[in-house]
């Protein structure tokens, strides 16, 4: 178990450079859509290299940002990204989502982090605890319909000249080859979020050529 965890951390650290700098149009569309739903102080759970930060802070309804990630190199790059957009307060915390202690957030997001969580129910419960009553949570994660090779073939037309494209492509292929990632059908993902106390306001699979599920969730107003 220890060896597996260390390899996973190393893998995400190795991915940090290409993940920060390569943004195919499908990823751009995802970041824009997610950012449009956010308000107040935002918690980004599994923030990676922080490539959504410019989109979040550009939203006039957003007042601040806290990113959380367990991979140190991702955190380092996310802090660099936050420094480029100092117009609103932002902080990046090196921690596992289920262990982090931060003030209540007005909204939250998690993009393509869910499939790597060792205990998805525990993490979703923690996110619900982080959120203020009535807060919005945007959960986006790849699903069983994903054809990563086809998606990358499409993205390559845009990104092939990028110096980090090969790293980006190869890492994403390795993700989908892993037997440890958790991919669910949309209805299964909806049920799991409901069991964690969220109400589902929207759900679709319009992005990543159907290979990504996006849920707009709401924490119950009655919870403190």
| Domain assignments of the chain as residue spans, ordered by start | 2-219
CATH of domain 2-219: 3.40.50.150
Those residues with Cβ within 8 angstroms of residue 55's Cβ, 6 or more apart along the chain or in another chain: 31, 32, 34, 35
Closest listed residue to residue 66, CA positions, set 116, 122, 10, 131: 131
- Prediction pTM value: 0.93
Band of residue 11 on the pLDDT scale cut at 50, 70, 90: low
Q: What is the mean pLDDT of residues 59-67?
A: 98
SS3 67: strand
DSSP string, 117-165: -SSHHHHHHHHHHHEEEEEEEEEEEE-TT--HHHHHHHHHHHHTTSTTH
Is 224 a residue whose pLDDT tops 50?
no
The chain-wide mean pLDDT, for the chain, equals 92
- Using a 10 angstrom Cβ sphere, with 0-12 exposed, 13-18 middle and 19 or more buried, the burial of residue 130 is buried
Band of residue 179 on the pLDDT scale cut at 50, 70, 90: confident
Q: What is the mean pLDDT of residues 136-160?
A: 97
Contact 97, 117 (CB under 8 A): yes
Q: Look at residue 14 in the predicted model and tell me its pLDDT.
A: 75
């Amino acid at each position: 178990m220890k060896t597996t965890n260390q390899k996973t951390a190393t893998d995400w650290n190795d991915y940090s450079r290409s993940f920060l700098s390569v943004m195919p149009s499908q990823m751009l569309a995802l970041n824009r859509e997610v950012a449009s739903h956010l308000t107040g102080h935002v918690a980004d759970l599994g923030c990676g290299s922080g490539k959504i930060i410019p989109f979040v802070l550009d939203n006039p309804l957003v007042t601040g940002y806290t990113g959380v990630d367990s991979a140190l190199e991702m955190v380092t790059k996310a802090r660099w990204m936050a420094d480029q957009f100092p117009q609103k307060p932002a902080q990046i915390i090196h921690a596992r989502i289920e262990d982090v202690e931060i003030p209540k957030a007005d909204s939250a997001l998690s993009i393509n982090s869910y499939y790597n969580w060792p205990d998805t129910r525990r993490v979703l419960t923690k996110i619900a605890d982080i959120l203020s009553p009535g807060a919005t949570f945007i959960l986006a994660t790849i699903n069983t319909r994903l054809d990563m090779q086809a998606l990358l073939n499409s993205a390559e037309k845009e990104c092939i000249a990028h110096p980090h494209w090969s790293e980006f492509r190869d890492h994403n292929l390795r993700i989908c080859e892993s037997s440890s990632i958790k991919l669910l059908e949309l209805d299964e993902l909806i049920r799991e979020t409901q069991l964690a106390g969220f109400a589902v306001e929207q759900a679709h699979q319009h992005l990543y050529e159907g290979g990504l599920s996006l849920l707009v969730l709401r924490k119950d107003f009655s919870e403190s």
